[in-house]
């Protein structure tokens, strides 16, 4: 049996599969098992920001794999120590500690626990259309996918994204935290208004609540800054990170302010902060800094949208973009256009039923982006 048959027979089918088998990648290109090349504007759902098979990351992984792969948190480790120092250095100045885990949803689980522990409260304010993960705590903060798993954690209230008056009404002296994305990824690539996000920070400070910024998808240069909260001068109490942090190796992190001192035994993880992932993360962050990927993301994203907008089809309702995080909202279903793009050698994502989402590796070339624009316009005009 081939890979499709084996996964169909033995795998847990919880994903809407595309009918191709990817076997190799380099930069912004991936190849299937028939040797066909595709420009990858999914990047593993925003993971491969420094490109597939990045040589610097691969070298760091190989070196660490032959040195020490795992080291539990009950011991100190040289590579983990360098990574937590680096993370504190590159994140907003309000953040002084790092907890390393394995994924975005784990980062959110830890954030919820830290906020409850730090405030002694258990009420959370989240945004409609927000997505924070699929484990039970993270799902409690997520607007969709809830019904089949209720009852979830109590105490989670949802307000419309970017509606300041609704946010103001929801936050009180019993609120543990506000959990918000600076750009809603799964929710349709919807950009947070500066005043909405600044108001969230002000109200959290006023009521003794924590501001939890979910930058799992927006972090690490995706939006034209190292972290999207920098666009608005935000100083969160908790910052959730994952996806692009380690060049494709599974990893997450929770950055916290000095307000949070969870103490021994409050949380833990077996694999989080293992030396292999930490080495990959250090190499990934260094590559981002050395190649100025934040500014490159801003430049390429603006250039792409300008080119696309020259001959925008009438089927497009709106383009929403920050850096190389791009959402194209249509007046019709996105799925047929996604399949047409795949036939043309372009891999893209949905973000709801009518939005085409592009999250290409930040190392994608201008020429490759021009090809994506041309094929996208062709697909939308058919």
- CATH number of the domain bearing residue 128: 3.40.640.10
- pTM assigned to the model: 0.97
Structure tokens that stand for 99 in this block:
């907890």
pLDDT band at 231 (very low <50, low <70, confident <90, very high): very high
- Report angle CA 371, 349, 161 to the nearest 5 degrees: 120
What local confidence, expressed as pLDDT, does residue 58 receive?
A: 98
The torsion of the CA quartet 165, 169, 141, 228, rounded to 10 degrees, works out to: 40
Summarize pLDDT for 61-86 with one digit per residue, the tens: 999 999 999 999 999 999 999 999 99
Q: Token pair 């959370």 is at which residue?
A: 124
Summarize pLDDT for 281-291 with one digit per residue, the tens: 999 999 999 99
Mean pLDDT of 328-338: 97
Domain end: 242, 270, 290, which one? 290
pLDDT beyond 80 at 382: no
Domain enclosing residue 23, as ranges: 3-53+292-380
Mean pLDDT of 39-46: 98
What local confidence, expressed as pLDDT, does residue 84 receive?
A: 98
Summarize pLDDT for 232-281 with one digit per residue, the tens: 999 999 999 999 999 999 999 999 999 998 889 999 999 999 999 999 99
Residue 8 and residue 69 share a domain: no
Residue 236 and residue 115 share a domain: yes
- CATH number of the domain bearing residue 29: 3.90.1150.10
Give the start-end residues of each E strand in 62-149.
97-101, 123-127
Output DSSP code: residue 211: E
3-state secondary structure of 32: strand
Residue 371 and residue 302 share a domain: yes
What local confidence, expressed as pLDDT, does residue 333 receive?
A: 97
Structure tokens that stand for 84 in this block:
């937590």
Partners of 270 in beta bridges: none
The count of structural domains within the chain is 2
Give a three-class secondary structure readout of 287-322: HHHHCCHHHHHHHHHHHHHHHHHCCCCCCEEEEEEE
Residue 369 and residue 306 share a domain: yes
Q: Which residue has the higher pLDDT, 156 or 13?
A: 156
Residue 190 and residue 103 share a domain: yes
Q: Are strands 325-330 and 355-358 parallel, antiparallel or unpaired?
A: antiparallel
Summarize pLDDT for 87-142 with one digit per residue, the tens: 999 999 999 999 999 999 999 999 999 999 999 999 999 999 999 999 999 999 99
pLDDT over 90 percentage in the chain: 97
Residue 185 and residue 232 share a domain: yes
Mean pLDDT of 170-198: 98
CA distances from 265 to 6, 94, 113 (A): 41, 24, 12
Domain end: 258, 290, 322, which one? 290
Phi and psi angles of residue 103, each rounded to the nearest 5 degrees, phi first: -165, 170
Residue 75 and residue 38 share a domain: no
Question: What is the overall mean pLDDT for the chain?
Answer: 97
CA distances from 85 to 80, 81, 317 (A): 9, 6, 44
Give which of 74, 70, 156, 162 is closest to 108, Cα–Cα.
156
Residue 47 and residue 181 share a domain: no
Domain end: 245, 273, 290, which one? 290
Residue 204 and residue 130 share a domain: yes
Residue 204 and residue 84 share a domain: yes
Residue 255 and residue 149 share a domain: yes
Residue 199 and residue 252 share a domain: yes
């Amino acid at each position: 049996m081939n890979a499709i048959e084996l996964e169909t027979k033995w795998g847990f089918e919880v994903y809407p599969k595309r009918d191709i088998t990817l076997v190799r990648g380099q930069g912004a290109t991936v190849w299937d098992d028939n040797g066909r090349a595709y420009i990858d504007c999914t990047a593993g759902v925003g993971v491969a920001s420094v490109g597939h098979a990045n040589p610097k990351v691969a070298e760091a992984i190989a070196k660490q794999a032959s040195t020490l792969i795992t080291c539990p948190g009950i011991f100190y480790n040289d590579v983990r120590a360098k990574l937590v120092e680096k993370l504190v250095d590159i994140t907003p100045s309000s953040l002084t500690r790092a907890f390393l885990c394995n994924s975005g949803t784990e980062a959110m689980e830890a954030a919820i626990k830290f906020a409850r522990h730090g405030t002694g409260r258990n009420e959370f304010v989240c945004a409609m259309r927000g997505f924070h993960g699929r484990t039970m705590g993270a799902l409690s903060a997520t607007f969709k996918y809830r019904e089949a798993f209720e009852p979830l954690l109590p105490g989670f209230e949802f307000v419309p994204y970017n509606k300041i008056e609704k946010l103001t009404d929801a936050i009180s002296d019993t609120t543990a935290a506000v959990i918000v994305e600076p750009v809603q990824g799964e929710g349709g690539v919807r950009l947070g208004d500066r005043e909405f996000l600044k108001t969230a920070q002000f109200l959290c400070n006023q009521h003794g609540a924590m501001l939890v910024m979910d930058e799992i998808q927006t972090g690490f240069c995706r939006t034209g800054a190292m972290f999207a909260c920098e666009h608005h001068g935000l100083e969160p109490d908790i910052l959730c990170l994952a996806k692009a942090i380690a060049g494709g190796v599974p990893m997450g992190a929770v950055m916290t302010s000095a307000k949070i001192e969870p103490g021994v035994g409050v949380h833990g993880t077996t694999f989080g902060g293992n030396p292999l992932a930490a080495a990959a993360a250090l190499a990934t962050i260094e590559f981002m800094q050395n190649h100025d990927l934040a500014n490159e993301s801003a430049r390429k994203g603006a250039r792409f949208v300008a080119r696309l907008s020259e001959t925008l089809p009438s089927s497009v309702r709106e383009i929403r973009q920050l850096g190389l995080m791009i959402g194209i909202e249509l007046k019709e279903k996105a799925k047929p256009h996604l399949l047409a793009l795949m036939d043309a050698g372009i891999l893209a994502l949905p973000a709801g039923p009518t939005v085409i989402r592009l999250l290409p590796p930040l190392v994608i070339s201008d020429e490759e982006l021009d090809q994506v624009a041309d094929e996208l316009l062709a697909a939308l005009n058919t």
